[in-house]
A and B are shown apart, each in its own frame.
Chain A
Amino acid sequence: METHRDDMGSKIGMWLFLLSEILLFGGLFILYSSYRYKNPIDFHLAAWELDRVLGTFNTLILITSSLSIVLSIFFVQKGNRRLSGLFLLATIFLGILFLGIKYVEWTAKIGHGLYPNSPRLLGRSKGEILFFGLYYSMTGLHGLHVLIGLFILSAMLVLVMKGKINEHRFVPLENTGLYWHLVDIIWIFLFPLFYLIT
């Protein structure tokens, strides 16, 4: 019995999975659009309270991390596992940095008493309650995806170090790259929706 290996099949499977991820976030984007349409002024006011500097910085971090995972894949294809591992490490570092900044942002908001069901938030207009409800759910779900991505990236790092992923077999790393780009792209939509459109 020959072992079955189909790199193209693995990638098709990954793309299908990513499609389902887009629809998962799609439900949230529908809610966002609908509530923004109903409460344009409240959303405008609430968006002013987010820290645009930190948001921009986080966007740069994620975009850079997408570059570093691409470089990691590039180098493993060239047979340079050391550099590939190094860029994976850089991606992991950037991912952790992203979550760290997110943590700072969230704690600051919670420190101001702006969190779901908080007395201060419940005192605000309905649109603002919804804005922050969606802000926490959407960036939270995105953060969860970053966290899961970090675990997968770490597993990939181990596989690259061990030589299980090499210039002849790198499809798991490519799929990880696809997943990481998706996480990146979702953030690129979240960032303007929450921080920039005011």
Chain B
Amino acid sequence: MTQNGVLEKTYPAASFYDHQGKYRGILAWILSTDHKRIGLLYLGLILLFFSVAVFFGFLMRLKLIAPGFPLMKPQMYNAIFTLHGIIQIFLVVIPAIPAIFGNFFLPIQIGARDMAFPKINLLSWWLYASGAAIVFLSLFTAGGPIDTGWTFYAPYSLRTTVNVPLAVFGVFILGMSSILTGVNLVTTTHRLRAPGMSWFRLPLFVWGVYATAWVQILATPVIGITFALIMIERYFGIGVFDPAKGGDPLLYQHLFWIYSHPAVYIMILPAMGVVSEVIPVFSRKNIFGYKAIAFSSIAIASVGSLVWGHHMFVSGQSDFASVIFSLLTFLVAVPSAIKVFNWVATLYKGSIELKPPLLFALTFIFLFSIGGLTGLIQGALAVNMHLHDTYWVVGHFHYIIFGGMGFGFLAALHYWFPKMFGKMYDMKRTIGGWIILFIGFNILYFPMLILGWEGMPRRYYDYPPPFHTLHLISTIGSWILIAGLIWIFFNLIQGLRRGEKAEDNPWKGASLEWQIPSPPPTHNFEKIPIVGKGPYEFG
């Protein structure tokens, strides 16, 4: 039986990989309702799309290596930065942590055998795959690849000849997938916690994903209707965003950002959850300020839903609205800072083991802090006039999204890899890859902050010679960064193929996923555990 959350491992555990269900081969995966298999299905697709989007990013940087560099035509460049944005945001960053690790680990961490709605979970994946297929299909239809930027701003998206309706329809389907995943995660957290798993014994990753899931449910429908209106507008010309017919493009921007700003928190909150998970385990210390971290997730999700107008300071919205949005933007920094301080306090006097997951988590804190503080600078109204739509903004959000969410994702991948695959990767090699990635990252994105400060506008196809040096440095950084990524993922694939068998609990974690075999058996727990202690009481 179970005592203090520790399970006896007496049962013959057939891992979920060996599970013999109704179907064989590939069907056993794409028709499986096992949350672990669905998580891995997401992992496969998301890594595929990620590599495509990184390639587009590489092409953009290559184009900008020198003024007038003749790599591609302007229309092609517009299409490439649009695709880079759409793929990275809608197909990779938004679903990545909730759909992969939330799926795989949230049920296990709360002591459940699956999600609340396993079939809807599978439906979500199918919607995700179909939405992605539709987005890619839109590239090959009449008019060529979309060139609107990932924001689809009206009235340009109503006028351009490319196939905008099909692309936004694809994103609409992706939104449905995201909503259903959110519904599943919230219901699972409410209904399937094991006996004794009180709200304040939940691992902080669960809190992060739970807060995220609420944003997915409440914000995604708004972009759904916005994109539906773009489709209706294109096919029937109802006029709601068309100034020629009395429509107001500013309202499009409002509706777009009502979703797309909270979407930033869909990206970052689960990553913060990962960091809160990794830091106590590798400091061998209970987390400092558990409740503060848990509630700050909720605070970020709620206040973060009310700051969308800071994308529109120069759009002509009322000054009064801008002042309120600016104030709220500053406010949302408070719960984020609370988390950072609590993480650092957890490290203080801990027995730190600098293993790869912790290395990525610490990098998260460093890069996220740069991203967050640059965000505050551009959140000030007067400064924003100068920085709006410049490379500063591009630098800022790459520090948040890649530096924050991306490194959080790598932390999660390296933390849970042994549990997911039952194999161990070469930790020394990971550290080599990390050095390259970290250096490449900063060489790629830091010059963008300076470029923007000096006035280089974003999304431009070309630039005058004074900007050359910094653009050149940035492009070289992109090569180093890609080398680091290849190194890191190659190392993981090597681990998968010929790594040593992983222990059940290689990091000596105290949360439930480490108390079951690696990889987990099909139903996770033979008996539902009775939880008697918190997730970070290492004893």
Contacts and interface: CB of A to CB of B under 8 A. Distances in A.
A134 B232 CA distance: 11
A146 interface: no
Contact of A6 (B191, B217, B232): B191
B120 to A, nearest CB: 8
A134 B220 contact: no
Nearest to B178: A20
Given A117-B236, A141-B225, 12 more contacts: A6-B116, A6-B192, A9-B117, A12-B191, A13-B183, A17-B180, A23-B219, A24-B221, A31-B240, A34-B251, A35-B246, A137-B238
Interface string B255-266: 100100000000
The 9 closest A-B pairs by CB, nearest first: A126-B246, A133-B238, A117-B237, A27-B225, A24-B221, A9-B191, A23-B221, A116-B236, A116-B238
B248 interface: yes
Interface of A: 1, 4, 6, 8-10, 12-13, 16-17, 19-21, 23-28, 30-31, 34-35, 38-39, 116-117, 122, 125-127, 129-130, 132-134, 136-137, 141
A26 B240 CA distance: 15
B191 A129 contact: no
Contacts of B225: 24-28, 141
State which size class the interface on B falls in: 35 or more
Contacts of B217: 16, 19-20
Contacts of B186: 12, 16
B229 interface: yes
Contacts of A19: 217-218
Contacts, number: 115
A114 to B, nearest CB: 12
B220 A20 contact: yes
B245 A130 contact: yes
Given A116-B236, A130-B240, A27 B222 contact: yes
B103 interface: no
17 contacts: A1-B523, A12-B187, A12-B191, A16-B187, A23-B218, A27-B225, A27-B229, A28-B229, A30-B255, A31-B255, A34-B251, A35-B248, A116-B238, A126-B246, A133-B238, A136-B236, A137-B229
A122 B245 contact: yes
Given A21-B221, A24-B225, A137-B229, A130 B236 contact: no
Given A9-B116, A13-B183, A137-B232, A130 B222 contact: no
B52 interface: no
Given A116-B236, A116-B238, A39 B246 contact: yes
Contacts of B258: 27
Prevailing SS type, chain A contact patch? helix
Given A27-B255, A133-B245, A137-B240, A8 B191 contact: yes
B110 to A, nearest CB: 13
Contact of B248 (A12, A17, A34, A134): A34
B221 A16 contact: no
A133 to B, nearest CB: 3
B248 A129 contact: no
B236 A26 contact: no
B62 to A, nearest CB: 39
A12 B192 CA distance: 12
A39 B240 CA distance: 13
Given A16-B186, A34-B251, A26 B221 contact: yes
B240 A16 contact: no
A13 B187 contact: yes
Given A27-B226, A116-B238, A137-B240, A130 B247 contact: yes
Contacts of A117: 236-238
Contacts of A38: 248
B246 A20 contact: no
A17 B179 contact: yes
Interface in B179-212: 179-180, 182-184, 186-187, 190-192
B190 A12 contact: yes
